Amino acid sequence: MTDVLLTHSYHLPYDRKQVRKMQPYLPLGTLYAAAVLRSQNISAAVFDTMLSDPVAGFPDALKKHTPKLVAIYEDDFNFLSKMCLTRMRELAWWMIDAARGCGATVIVHGSDATDHAEEYLQYGADFVLVGEAEKTLAELCGNLLQREDPGTVEGLISLDHGGRTVRRTMQLPRTAAWIDLPSPARDLIDTAPYRASWTSAHGFFSMNAVASRGCPYRCNWCAKPISGDKFHVRSADAVAEEILELKEGHGAEHVWFGDDVFALNHHWTEQFADEIEKRGCALPFKIQSRADLMTEETVPALKRAGCAEVWMGVESGSQSVLDSMDKGLRVSEVVEARLRLKEAGIRACYFLQFGYPGETWKDIQQTIALVRSTHPHDVGVSVSYPLPNTRFYEKVRAQLGPKRNWTDSDDLCVMFTAEYKDVFYHALRDALHAEVDSWRIRGARERVSNLWKRVADLETVSRNVSPTRFRADETPRHSKEPSQFLPLGQIASAGREA
């Protein structure tokens, strides 16, 4: 019998986009929680749903481990978990029911459960944990296993005997000593299926790690239900030591850092490069960061440490849209970052977001122009997605219907009244992706030209009558003339190598 069976609700085959990408990573947040439990002499096992069929595998895991407690503990370091996808929610509710059917007490933690705690409790969860919950989980499990009253544990949401919601604290618990937590319990998961998936799809094996937790920036569309605006960073030598372990102990050939924002401090980044060089353990790695952090000091240090690819939250090529988002970023900083990364031989990739309230055709064209003039190696295209407890969400809340979350990460449904209908944004995504791909794939020019023609045709017929705008001085900037779109043949940079 196992004290606690941990699991999570992200199953890659349920997500069309991620199946195409085939880049599965271990659920680090879940494994950190398991490591903390074991450090408190609480036995723990993990059923990993990433690649295993949960409908068949979870009941088998319940029978095998006969746990007293089941913790559906989502990976706080997986951006897909933070998106609160409905397929994850539905699977979590099914797992709650299955665990309750085996007589286990059920504990739930994650972004979606934090936002919708009462629904999870109504579906049978005994406790919802909020905030940075590793220590909360260990304390709660210790009390429950000792048959003690958990009422003094902070960060719990539960139902009282009358079915009323009880919140133990209004403040999100912080694991201030997160940087000192034991290493994630990777030994509890079989990495062979991950290795097979990676090598089959990409020819190498990538594993994940995190150097920091949280993000101090305050983009008004970004939801932070777990850490808020707090930021913690581990010591550079500890992170370098973990990279050495991934390389020598697990055979990793590449690393993905799941940090919300990597390289926040250039002094830390330089120390990290020093520690990597000291150990001789450099591996190519990929990070998420900001363009304004790609400074003259930081980029060379990233290169020394092994950085091969930086994904930057560019969002838009329109300064007015960035300002409306409270992004705290200048378009010129994106241009500078792209040049610095190019000079260092590091791939530069952009996250782009269309449909933000107030964004018009002119703004969209500025974003396209930025992509064409700077030639990123890749782009990720999304539409603005309102998640609870953001200023953006509150602005569009009255327009939201029954559908308030995406089904999977490829959904791209605009759930408020944007400037255009979904079909336009989908066409825009397809054309922009195809053009970026065409810079390295021969023979794609005609297809790209046709995709842009579809965007131009849809621009005039897909406008919403009364779109949402945040900017008080915003006036419609559509011309009454037919839309004009620069043909592919006139793009000076087309076909040029980045």
pLDDT digits (tens, 9 = 90+) for 81-93: 989 999 999 999 9
**Whether residue 22 has pLDDT greater than 70:** yes
Sequence-distant (6+) residues with CB within 8 A of 50 are 8, 10, 11, 12, 24, 25, 26, 27, 194
The tokens of 231 are what? 């930021």
For residue 478, is pLDDT > 70? no
> In the predicted model, what is the mean pLDDT of residues 421-435?
97
Residue 498 has pLDDT above 70, yes or no: no
pLDDT band at 446; cut points 50, 70, 90 = confident
Give the pairing type, strands 307-315 and 347-354: parallel
Average pLDDT over residues 2-21: 97
* Mean pLDDT across 270-278: 98
For residue 106, give both structure tokens. Answer: 């059920």
Please report, as a single letter, which amino acid is at residue 438: S
- Residue 269 CA to residue 249 CA, distance in Å, equals 24
For the stretch 300-328, pLDDT in tens is 999 999 999 999 999 999 999 999 999 99
4-167 placed in CATH 3.40.50.1370? no
Q: Is the pLDDT of residue 74 over 60?
A: yes
Report yes or no: 71 and 137 within 8 Å, Cβ to Cβ. Answer: yes
- Predicted local distance difference test score (pLDDT) of residue 171: 63
pLDDT at 228: 86
Q: What is the pLDDT at residue 488?
A: 46
Mean local confidence (pLDDT), 438-451: 85
Q: What is the pLDDT of residues 133-148, one digit of tens each?
A: 999 999 999 999 999 9
CB atoms within 10 A of CB 200: 9
pLDDT at 393 over 70: yes
Tally Cβ neighbours within 10 Å of residue 238.
14
Integer Cα distance of 177 and 213 in angstroms: 11
Q: In this model, does residue 495 exceed pLDDT 70?
A: no
The architecture that CATH gives domain 186-490 is Alpha-Beta Horseshoe (3.80)
Q: Looking at the chain, which residues constitute the CATH 3.80.30.20 domain(s)?
A: 186-490
The answer to whether the pTM exceeds 0.85 is yes
Per-residue pLDDT, averaged over 194-216, amounts to 97
| Percent of the chain scoring above 70 in pLDDT | 92
Cα separation of 341 and 343, whole Å?
5
- Residues of the chain within CATH 3.40.50.280 domain(s) are 4-167
Cα–Cα dist 153/164, whole Å: 18
pLDDT given for residue 469 in this prediction? 77
The Cα–Cα gap between 135 and 444 comes to: 53
Q: Which of 180, 178, 152 is closest to 166 using CA atoms? A: 152
Percentage, residues of the chain above pLDDT 90: 83
Do 302 and 273 contact (CB within 8 A), yes or no?
yes
Distance CA 88, CA 85 (A): 5
Confidence of residue 173 (pLDDT cuts 50, 70, 90): low
- pLDDT recorded at residue 97: 98
Within a 10 A sphere around the Cβ of 110, how many other Cβ atoms? 32
